[in-house]
Structure 1
């Protein structure tokens, strides 16, 4: 599978096609050092938790190292506190020789963490898609690109956590679907980020009464139409109103970005509209989806997350990266 992808990349390069690398990464609570009153308790700057200049610098160094190694053209980010934190990450990347000239963050709502976007490619616009009027749900970030005369819409998501029921995530899915319908399913559309949903959530949550308060309906599978997908993008035959989850295009053992109690989970996803599967002027490169599971991002406990002691007073240890692994996928633009 990997050999075929390398051969395709060489072929595309020789014949002048452009390879677009796309990534998504939940960086796990990137907070700056300004106190604004919405921080989690352990991220109050310069408090007993040791969220200070030293640990913030280590966090930026570690996360920027991962992003630098991926070197994506466009990367979606989740759990960024605010614009300042995004700019500090962008500067850390620039110091490493990776410059993202274009950036955006969904910061109109005063939520604790937000979604953002870094890009080497200019976008025609970026704007926020409001899920609800309250701060209960984070806004979705929408950006439109025009690359080699091809239009591309990207939506960065961070849905409600699994500490809450599926109905919370359905709200985000419905808002997203409504916007997609306005744009049109015949467009090149990518939905990505932390959906807090498995690619087969409708199967895995069915017996969990805590989650299943929707009579079996899930946001990612039913509302966005990823249910009953075939295991290979070259064989897929779905309604044009459905999205294809790229996890089906890699080996099942590699379909994870999070490990909870020794159980691998695919909380992060990349979904693409049907035109991106049809091998046209802008198309997904088969077998290119992968989680970025470098050895330094894994530990005996699972994913090598940012370490905070769990005593009566939580303290930052200045070690680790994030509790999520990034995902990368590649697209061909003729």
Structure 2
């Protein structure tokens, strides 16, 4: 009998391992991201826009084409890398800002790093005085748009009474592998003239954003809504905390509430997506509504949020060491954007 004990023990362990393997759940994971592409302009002077101030247009005409090709390649490399280490795929959905027109997006998604992913493009021209827009790129095999709309931000300067022309907010509703989600892509008014003086513009943008979210939740309180973009405000500013009423901790988010997974990264960890005057700001964020926090993984739920700040995206020396490496700083040899991208992972049980 003693000789049988060891083989029986091994058999018993193998049976347990087999049962556990069968019970182990498998999950599908996708990346949803946002990236400010910092002046993705073409080489053509558009007289209807103020594109002369773009870094490419400031170059000698003989160098513009080379710079544009390099810019496209660098932007495509970053987009392809976001989330790839974990998902082995490029983002299923990515919002972008600071693009001049639809054609630069067509050129971007046809770069070798992205071409095989067959990205669709959703873009509207906005009334921004610089001629820059927001847009959404999506893998056609994964996301199916149902409805798209552009929402105009109407604001006026108190001193001049003139309209401030800025970016519209893009709303896209569609199905991510059968799950209905809504995405708002933003690029809120800048801090030009100072944070306090320009604050009313971003407060107005926050009010518009909340109205869009409220309209979706009035139809379905359990709507899965993402609001992503370069908000030109930090997670703790009034536009976030008072207008959108964002929460930093999951347990505080009620139905119809909004979670900001980047608030604690900013407050407790000191992280940022862009640097200015020797200080970090976390202007780029992805916010979302409470149903994405639930624990029923029969549909896509939030798993993780992060800032994509790999080493190759940063300055290696000088005053701005560690800050985003801009193309304007690196010249034709490299450089990317003055913002790091941000992302969230969504998971669903297979």
Tell me the TM-score normalised to structure 1 length: 0.80
Q: CA deviation at 1:282?
A: 3.5
Contact 1:116 1:141 in 2 (8 A): yes
- What residue number does 2:52 align with? 41
User: Aligned partners of 1:248, 1:42: CA distance in 2, in Å?
Assistant: 33
- What residue number does 1:192 align with? 228
1:83 to 102, 105, 114: 102
Q: Residues 282 and 291 from structure 1, CA distance in 2 versus in 1: closer, same or farther, beyond 3 angstroms?
A: same
Contact 1:43 1:49 in 2 (8 A): no
Listed as ranges, the matches of 1:20-99 within 5 Å are 20-37=30-47, 38-43=49-54, 48-50=59-61, 52-70=64-82, 71-92=90-111, 94=112, 97-99=115-117
Give the count of matched residue pairs.
293
Q: CA deviation at 1:226?
A: 1.0
- What residue number does 2:10 align with? none
2:341 to 323, 326, 330: 326
Report SS of the residue matched to 2:182.
Answer: strand
Q: Cα deviation per residue 1:217-266 (whole Å; 9 max; x = unaligned)?
A: x2122111115x33xx3xx2234343110114658436311111221210
Q: Residues 46 and 219 from structure 1, CA distance in 2 versus in 1: closer, same or farther, beyond 3 angstroms?
A: closer
Q: CA deviation at 1:47?
A: 5.9
Q: Residues 333 and 129 from structure 1, CA distance in 2 versus in 1: closer, same or farther, beyond 3 angstroms?
A: farther
User: Aligned partners of 1:125, 1:16: CA distance in 2, in Å?
Assistant: 31
Q: CA deviation at 1:33?
A: 1.9
Contact 1:103 1:117 in 2 (8 A): yes
Higher helix share: 2
Contact 1:100 1:118 in 2 (8 A): no
Tell me, which stretches of 5 or more residues in structure 2 are unaligned?
1-20, 83-89, 156-162
User: Aligned partners of 1:169, 1:152: CA distance in 2, in Å?
Assistant: 25
Residue 254 of structure 2 corresponds to residue 243 of structure 1: no
Higher RCO, 1 vs 2 (CA within 8 Å, ≥6 residues apart): 1
Report SS of the residue matched to 2:292.
Answer: helix
Report SS of the residue matched to 2:241.
Answer: helix
Tell me the TM-score normalised to structure 2 length: 0.76
Residue 145 of structure 2 corresponds to residue 103 of structure 1: no
Compare CA radii of gyration and give the structure with the larger one.
2
